[in-house]
Chains A and B, each alone.
Chain A
Amino acid sequence: MTEPLIYEISSPGRTAVALPDVGVPEVELPKELLRKDLDLPEVSELQVMRHFVNLSHMNHSIDSGIYPLGSCTMKYNPKINEDVARLPGFANLHPLNDEAGSQGALALMYHLQSWLAELSGFEAASIVPAAGAQGEFAGILMIRAYHLDRGDHKRTKILVPDSAHGTNPATVSMAGLQAVELPSDKNGDVDLNALRAALDDTVAGMMITVPSTLGVFDTKIRDVVRMVHEAGGLMYMDGANMNALMGIVKPGELGFDVMHYNLHKTFSTPHGGGGPGCGAVGVNEKLVDFLPGPIAEIVEEAGEEEDAPLYGLKMPVKSIGRLKAFQGNFGMHVRAYTYIRIYGGEGLRDVSRHAVLNANYVRAKLRGVYPMPVDRICGHEFVMSGHVEGVEGIHALDISKRLMDFGIHPPTNYFPLIVPEALLIEPTETEDKATLDNFIDVMKTIAQEAKDDPELLHSAPHTTPVGRVDEVRAAKQLVVCCRPIPDYEPQRTPSGD
């Protein structure tokens, strides 16, 4: 199944949209500044709809089947969220609108900030960052700024466990600091001896994921936090796995100084085929003045006759600065606000309880079918090896591709890097038992197929719109645009005056 490119169904002179007349006396266009042509397709509205609907059929999505992608939290995206984010009062609100005329939006942002802070036991939160990676970046910049503000210029290192998401070390480098990798012990926890050896007065802080990327709660987490604090460093929590923690434990109470939340994971805002997201950051009192801005604040408490205070946007006094042109991915704020509002505090606790229940159920049922490198009660996800006992030459990739033939999206594969042939499985709380049972049965079937007919796995997938693709060809020929680029004559650029 292939779909032509939109350019391939274009015909000169066709158009999808009628536009109004200019309606005002016209001035002459500045001819010497104009472009000659614009190479966009010419299609009808129906052609556009068919094209994109046909393309949509070539995607796996949460609404079409289970998506057990570890560390990505592919939970159900409630439909009400999509409706409210599109309300005219939100969709048509200009980012630089006067604050007096933006009170509904500001109130929403203010409450979302407060709720996120409360959920994690923090002093305050900023919802400006557009994605987890940008939240991490904000967090590390804040740690850096905190030390510099105290006149401590020696602290240039950030400790990062070898099990960390790639964004962690990349973030550290981006902030101009040095990432120092720490080994994990055989349980997947931080190796305390290695940590002790790495700690000195050049350590600015440590980044760690809780539960770890192996899906387990590090039982020594309090010791890790205490040791880093004693050495003068700050603790950053990667909140990618927050779906295991709501109402279970508050990172702020465990001693973390800063964390990011992925609203597009834990708080159900859709992943959108790669984005947009929101990587809000929460901090304790040490870092509150350094938050990225602007953040929503109460600028005037409610008087006796008013029922609402006056909200405004403020830059925290020592802010690391702006991370986006405006105040963040507001459309994601609306969705996450709605999600939290519908569940309420106890409901969110229930979310994490069931996320952990589902993961442990699948783990328990697959024990003995696939090797479990960390064989203990897990959080909201668990890691297994994509290896079938007694069969050589079957890889995590083969199992992943074969799952597609059963209408199931593969788990995250080859992450965390410290587990060979890793398959990281996160069912999420919104999958019902029957769906999980089917997933378990399919995984068992594939393990059997690996023994009986390994070629079936090697050549998978068989039922998808395309088969395995030639990535080497893509990288070598590097065709990233389907149109020829006009070869411009060197010429003088326009005169604006």
Chain B
Amino acid sequence: MRYILVDRILEWEKGQRIKAVKSVTLGEPFLRGLPEYPAALILEAIVQTGGILCRMSADRERMTVLGKISRADFPARAFPGDRIEIEVEIALARPEGNLCEGVAKVGDRVVGSARFLLPFLPPEMEPQKDAAWRDRRAKLQRALGLPPSPGDGSEEG
């Protein structure tokens, strides 16, 4: 099961903002038996989008974790067939991590918004960045429409 809940990165500015899209289909494994896309997964998609921005904005490649959700609202629902656009901004940045604010919309309808903290993992807690890890990262970046990481060009094929 794919746990990246973002289909494509549409645009991003380092250290500033990012825009992504998620299309909700009937084939979603998470949707079996549910009439609507769960709010928790909209929140997860917002946070994942913020994590992608934070990792790409760091001076060296860092990994983030979700530290805290300060606020989350889900004023409307999302359904199969909806195209959810997610925008996240880095509201405040520090060496330890970033404070982000994100909103998810279907057209003009807000289906989720959140304020959350994404601290960077201490280097000693990061997974080993071996060839298999770099390969997975490269595949994910291609799928999301992101440029390859520095030094990964030859592995991109």
A interacts with B: no
Report which A residues bind B (CB closer than 8 A). none
Report which B residues bind A (CB closer than 8 A). none
